[in-house]
Structure 1
Amino acid sequence: MIQANCHHSHLYDGGMRMRILVAVDRDEESQMALRYTCHLLEHFEAHVDALYVKPDVAQAGAEGAYAPFTTPQDFHAAMEAEAQRTLEAVIETCEVCLGAKIPCEPVVAVGDPAEEILRVADEGNYDMIVLGSQGRSSLRGLLLGAVHAKILHHARRPVLILRNFRPVRKILVAYRGSECDQGALRFVGRLFQKKKPEISIVHVQETKIAESDKYAKQCVEDAERTIRGFGFSPVLVTAQGDFVDELLKAVTVKRFDLIVLGAHWQKRSKYLAMISDEALDLVRLTNRPVLVFREPLDEPAFSPKEQGIQER
């Protein structure tokens, strides 16, 4: 039997309370992320904080970023004006949440976007971090986005990356049998318990590690038992091949609205807590919203063997 040992969330306290941190700027993608978050939480007692990270003007000036401006003073004034316009846009978007009776407040920090998002999330003990897709904004980086990648690697809570606004009617949960995957199922089960979208649990029997039929069968049974506890009748799918390739095929065929997976599938020490390569590849390669779940680093995770599941 799998032991429950996952991220302590307000969501698990029975009162359906959630605290969500949404990273925002003036970019359309991040504003969409804020609207999407309010849509997800319409059945919850929830609170949303919209975090805008202002550039450190002193640091940017020291690095010569004000070159296009005539003086450092002009640069400072331009940066402050941009920050004020962004804050006004965030406040306007928060009205969407308030219209759905979800408290939403703008929060401003100064510094490196990834570091500040992680710091605020930890200090505020938020239940989830929400990021918009990369665009013409301070959240932009290479491929997935430098900010996104850093947060995915180091966040101590679920991270939801959004790419477009679409109602969540079909969810794919990638399940490999870890406690992290179990935590993802419980999180999604509670989050969508009232909306009741179709949930497909997909287990890939990985040929490169010669996964046994027995292990694959037990994985699917454990996942089904967990999600049925929240009133869902899941679609069960087993595939054979490469983990990422098979999941991308499934998304293409059925056009899922959300992909959910654990950040890692093996027991990780607190010094080796980075997201698995497979999870990061899936986030990079799909054009669907992805929720990456992880348990807190200060609590022990269970390996498949400790869960009572035979090794692959």
Structure 2
Amino acid sequence: MTGTDLAKPARRRRLLAATDLSARSDRALGRAALLAQASGAELILLHAVNDDQPRSLIAAERREALPVLQAQAAALPPLAACRPVLEDGDPFEAILRIAEAEAVDLLILGAPRRRLLRDIFIGTTMERVLRHGHRPLLVVRAPPAAPYRHLLAAVDLSAHAARALRAAVDLGLTEGAELTVLHAFETPGMSAMAMADVPEDAVAAHRSAAAREAAAALESFVDGLGLPRRPETCVVAGRPATVIKEWADRLRPDLLVLGTSGATGLRRAVLGSVAAELLAEATCDALVVPPEAPA
């Protein structure tokens, strides 16, 4: 057997956790360390230094930031590899630049702190990473006490939803965990039926038929994913964001899995309304998977 016949060793998974060096980053760094430990992944710990200031101030900020960043890395549990990185620039630009340069498998951020006037116009770092990036993003809100035990994946049966679910599996987030796949749908034609004063039994029959069709479509969608284990599936009629929040309150998952749509141009400037609403109001961690980069 020649050297060319040997299979190439699998590349070590690479995670990127961004920190602003404050205690607000502790939960994200703790979850990143748990994931890196479980998979043997390399963890890159990134802090961005604002470069919109005089060079002397940039240099001074870098000198002050480096020991703090190194201390945060040293405080993490032992990892296969942990690498602190200082990068100049706006945080979202630095995150995306390093993510691409290092070909990371997962970005990990803490829940954003809103600065109302600024965020109205340009959005939080998290939102900007999602709008412009193409790599899975884990938004950490809860203390990272243990591996994820229950995932709730909200799907619209699109290729984007399938990509999100496959990413959760590929990243090892579903290992040893319960997975519930929820499809929320709005029954078509209800407004027209109400205006036409259709009899209630006919309306009920229409709702039942729509629910059966949605359930069959969800089963077909799940079958096509080739998941290692069959998840629980739920089909619920109603406004998607409302249904997902209600079921999240009912099931209390520790991770919500979402895909975002593949809008481009001006539409890409704003997160999809369902994803944006859920990210703003979710109380658990969320894995959000944007579309793949154009070929």
Q: Could you tell me the TM-score, scaled by structure 1's length?
A: 0.73
Give the number of equivalent residue pairs. 265
Inter-CA distance 159–46: structure 2 relative to 1 (3 Å threshold):
same
SS at match of 1:107: strand
AA aligned opposite 2:164: A
2:35 to 29, 34, 40: 40
For residue 104 of structure 1, what is the aligned residue in structure 2? 82
Inter-CA distance 194–173: structure 2 relative to 1 (3 Å threshold):
closer
1:21 to 13, 16, 20: 16
Runs ≥4 residues deviating over 6 A = 208-211
Equivalences for residues 170-185 of structure 1 within 5 A: 170-185=150-165
1:52 aligns with 2:31: no
CA contact (8 A) 1:208 1:242 kept: no
For residue 250 of structure 2, what is the aligned residue in structure 1? 253
Shift of 1:21: 1.4
Equivalences for residues 120-135 of structure 1 within 5 A: 120-135=98-113
SS at match of 2:13: strand
AA aligned opposite 1:60: Q
For residue 290 of structure 2, what is the aligned residue in structure 1? 294
Q: Which residues of structure 1 form unaligned runs of 5+?
A: 1-12, 62-71, 300-312
CA contact (8 A) 1:258 1:290 kept: yes
Equivalents in 1 of 2:21, 2:34: separation in Å? 20
Shift of 1:251: 1.1
CA contact (8 A) 1:54 1:108 kept: yes
CA contact (8 A) 2:15 2:106 kept: yes
SS at match of 1:131: strand
Equivalences for residues 1-312 of structure 1 within 5 A: 15=10, 17-56=12-51, 59-60=52-53, 76=57, 83-95=62-74, 99=78, 101-135=79-113, 142=119, 146-166=124-144, 167=146, 168-192=148-172, 195-207=175-187, 212-213=210-211, 215-225=213-223, 229-230=227-228, 232-264=229-261, 268-269=263-264, 273=268, 275-299=271-295
Deviations 1:244-295 (A, max 9, x none): 111111111121101001012xx54577545312111111111211111123
CA contact (8 A) 2:152 2:179 kept: yes
SS at match of 1:202: strand
Percent identical: 24
Equivalents in 2 of 1:243, 1:195: separation in Å? 27
AA aligned opposite 1:237: C
Q: Which residues of structure 2 form unaligned runs of 5+?
A: 1-7, 191-206
More helix by share: 2
CA contact (8 A) 2:168 2:174 kept: no
Inter-CA distance 276–208: structure 2 relative to 1 (3 Å threshold):
farther
CA contact (8 A) 2:21 2:47 kept: no
Larger radius of gyration: 2
CA contact (8 A) 1:173 1:260 kept: yes
Deviations 1:188-216 (A, max 9, x none): 12223773211110110124787944652
Range with bigger deviation, 234-243 or 274-283 = 274-283
CA contact (8 A) 1:98 1:104 kept: no
Shift of 1:48: 1.4
For residue 69 of structure 1, what is the aligned residue in structure 2? none
Inter-CA distance 34–247: structure 2 relative to 1 (3 Å threshold):
same
Inter-CA distance 213–185: structure 2 relative to 1 (3 Å threshold):
same
Shift of 1:164: 2.0
Equivalents in 1 of 2:278, 2:189: separation in Å? 19
Equivalents in 2 of 1:125, 1:298: separation in Å? 16
SS at match of 1:260: strand
AA aligned opposite 1:229: L
Equivalents in 1 of 2:9, 2:185: separation in Å? 35
Q: Could you tell me the TM-score, scaled by structure 2's length?
A: 0.77
Equivalents in 2 of 1:14, 1:236: separation in Å? 36
CA contact (8 A) 1:273 1:297 kept: no
